[in-house]
Amino acid sequence: MNARALILAAGLFASTAGAQDLGAYRQLSGALDGAVRARAGSAQAALAQLNAAQVAFDQLRPTLRNRQLSSGLQDALTGARAALGRTPAELEAQVLLGRGLMRKALYDQTLSQLISGTPGPGAQLELLTREYGLSGDGARAALKEGQTGQLERVAWRLQRAAAGRVLASLQAARPEQSTAAYVDLARATGWFTALPDSGTAGGLKVSQFGDALRQLTAGNLPELTRSLTTLRQGAGDLSASLTREPQTSSFPKPATGPATGPATGKAPPLKVGAGSDPASVRPSSPPAASGPAETGPVGGVQTSTAQTATVQLYAALGRALAAAGHGDNASARDRLGEAVQALSAVPGSLRTAPGYTALVFNLSAAQSRVALRPSDVQALISQAANLEAVAAGRPPSRLDAVSAGVARGFGGWMRVLVFALLALLTAVPLYLLNLAFGARNVSWRAVLFGLALLLLPTFLEGVFGLLGALGDLANLGALRSLSNLSLTQAAYGLPVGALLSALAIGLLAFGFRGLCQQFGLLGSSTPPKTTTQHGLEWDEDL
């Protein structure tokens, strides 16, 4: 590590050393995201989520070492509460800023722990990679580099991820006075806030984002177009500069001390939007191939990018479905992480359509779900298709909406435990049937075996679903693959289930037919001949 890095590290220790309360961090992020989702239906429900966010922040605050970031985060929470009386977009903007400040604080303290060699930063680094959208090989590489002390590469990966989010949000923003453009600019500002060394990133300044938001709320579209062009150019230059991997230890470490730019903890960019007239932010219309709002090449670039993001969303969901279909849940979750990233850059008509925040929530929940099954991913694909239908003005599928709700409420451990209990209960009717009628009668044996075959799919689902979930939890590939023996895992279960049903029907029909014959209910039955009457007549003769 060179002298410059040592100086940076020394300043970092003085201001940000120490571990954060990760439980409070997760509760705060979940409550903020929940407030955005709830606001579309009920301001009261959103207020309850913001109250929960404040409680979580009060728990997190003592573990935040940067007082400026802590103050800025409190300002964002206050602004979010004030935005409840205005539009949902303004609430989302305040939440996006708060999430950016949270990521910045987590970045600073995690890197300081790694530099100082503080024990136990692994969980914090893992959360940091998820917060910056790293998944799959990228996340695993960052964790390994953090463990081996390659902090320059960790910082490079995080900076590249944040810069990509800034650029994607700016490219999606349309130079028009609309809700979608407002949220896109707010999202870009939030990610710029989380960008390490954002004070000089790509020659951009946080004030430029604030200027763009002011121009949007004031309806100054020519100035907004010029600002967006400048911001996209700077973000593009920054992303291009981060394409090459760092080879030396001179890669800049996280900002220290009284940071410049968004790291100061103040929230001027989004407060500008929050103080605007709600009527000035109008709902956006679905993006067209061309139109007056798309000036020059900018509109074509953003439309192409948004359409590409939609294709990437379905491609990632399709790969996740393929991986979940053969029990590779680790790969499926990585692909779902890619879907979350693609979803953030879809066209504005999708982001403003009802159901977008619910899809974001369900995708994020599935990404961290243990015992992921193909039906869970299928429900997400159906939900994405419903979102497209709503954005295009077509009626959504109610069946797909119900499937999404069932997958959300009956997935994961809930499904595993319910079927495990049912698997245990399958032995009860078989035991009672054998106890009541025994197994000596051929017909009763056929009925017993037929009933066992009917219950076998439930038994397989319960036993192998539980074993697969335990393997997924313990990251044991061989044990996790046992879920493939469940008949609901993939299409191969259909013919197996049909064969079992056919055998069960045949055995039950054979058994019940034999019982009916024994009781004289089927066939030509003749009453048995007895010698009782003859005996009586012989006695009478005597």
**9: CB partners within 8 A, 6+ apart:** 1, 112, 115, 116, 253
- For residue 217, pLDDT beyond 70: yes
What pLDDT is stored for residue 523 in this prediction?
67
Q: Is the pLDDT of residue 187 over 80?
A: yes
Please tell me the distance from the alpha carbon of residue 542 to that of residue 535, in angstroms, as a whole number.
11
Closest by alpha carbon to 128, among 117, 145, 116? 145
Answer yes or no: are the C-beta atoms of 17 and 331 closer than 8 Å: no
For residue 133, is pLDDT > 50?
A: yes
Most confident of 20-24, 148-152, 330-334, 450-454: 450-454
* pLDDT for res 432: 92
In the chain, what are the domain boundaries? 3-275, 331-409, 416-518
The per-residue pLDDT for 291 is 33
Average pLDDT over the chain, rounded to whole?
79
Q: Taking the complete model, does pTM exceed 0.85, yes or no?
A: no
**pLDDT digits over 342-400, tens only?**
887 778 788 778 888 788 888 878 887 888 999 999 999 999 999 999 888 899 999 98
Give the confidence band of 68 by pLDDT, cuts at 50, 70, 90: confident
Q: In this predicted model, what pLDDT tens digit does every residue of 456-504 receive, in sequence order?
A: 999 999 999 999 999 988 888 889 889 999 998 888 899 999 999 999 9
**Residue range 394-420: mean pLDDT, rounded:** 90
Q: Give the Cα separation of 90 and 94 in Å (integer).
A: 6
d(CA 510, CA 132) in angstroms, rounded, equals 63
Who has greater pLDDT, 466 or 525?
466
Q: What is residue 407's predicted lDDT score, i.e. its pLDDT?
A: 87
Average pLDDT rounded to a whole number, residues 303-330: 83
pLDDT of residue 82: 84
- What's the whole-number mean pLDDT along residues 401-410? 87
The predicted structure's pLDDT at residue 119: 56
pLDDT value at residue 276:
36
Nearest to 178 by CA among 142, 221, 137, 144: 221
